Amino acid sequence: MIPGRSPAPGQRFADQKVRQELLDPTLQAVFASDSRGTSTGPIRGAIIDATTHAIVDLLGTRNAGGIFSTSEAGPQFAQVSQPIGTSAIALSGFRQEVAFFAERDEEGHLLQQIRVFDFDLGQSITKPILGKIKFTNIAAVTYLPEDDSYYFLDRTKRGHKSTITLLQLPRGLTLHKMAEWHDSHRFRDFALTSGSGGSLVVSASSDHRHAICVLSNDAEKIHGRAMFFGNGPIVVPHSRISTESRMSGAPRTDRFPHTR
């Protein structure tokens, strides 16, 4: 499904093996939001074992029509330590890598690190997060090619105060706090993806309602550009949205919006 357009048969976008893997509950698929225009290599996505976090298959486009097909990942991609819990995963077409965050050690402690599978080098690299700002509870992650950075939604609860923080991780290993707002706990699921022109798209969803916010990232300042509210959950929150064509009728705001 593409926002603003009618549903299309899956065979128009993926071969049979990819469609079977997408339906397998033991696997999860991660696609690059920057796959068109900025990608520097053939990898557009990855199929990942949901339990071990090992990469099962790599996804690329088979022809000019953009049909996703698989290429078997080498044995080096399966050599990973057994993680604890659910990871926050993002794939960059520009960097040709898939990055794992929010993994935990055997005692359940959150690991302040980035673990990357580099497709060009064919190897895994793990590096620590430096600086004073650390992860607390990552709700979503995406990659933005315009400034070559990963962005995160991090949920924090201190006493009776709950917040959601937008964090940036550029090429270095130091997190930067870009914005913060109150978490009203009216939404259960969050997603983050890149929009057009270097913007970020935040999606929040519950069983009965959802909200989508477009954030402009201008001169290192984050501000709300458009908001949209609707009924029901979001089925595909990670779609890349063109803010000009898809959300031109949405109300605008001059400040970073609170969740509602």
**DSSP for residue 250:** S
- Token digits of residue 56: 């099962």
Query: What are the extents of the domains in the chain?
Result: 7-128, 131-260
Cα 232 from chain centroid (whole Å): 21
Q: Among 41-55, 66-80, 207-221, name the one with the lowest average pLDDT.
A: 66-80
- CA distances 54 to 27, 104, 113, 128, 204, Å, are 10, 15, 17, 20, 28
| pLDDT on residue 6 | 53
Quick check: helix, strand or coil at residue 16? Answer: helix
Name which of 172, 164, 217, 225 is nearest 191 in CA terms. Answer: 164
- Higher-confidence residue of 78 and 192: namely 192
* pLDDT confidence bin for 257, thresholds 50/70/90: very low
60 burial level (CB within 10 Å; 0-12, 13-18, 19+): middle
Residue 92 in this model has a pLDDT that exceeds 90:
yes
As a whole number, the mean pLDDT across the chain is 77
Give the Cα separation of 172 and 97 in Å (integer).
16
Task: Please compute the mean of the pLDDT values over residues 242-256 and round it to a whole number.
Answer: 32
Q: Residue 28 corresponds to which amino acid?
A: Q
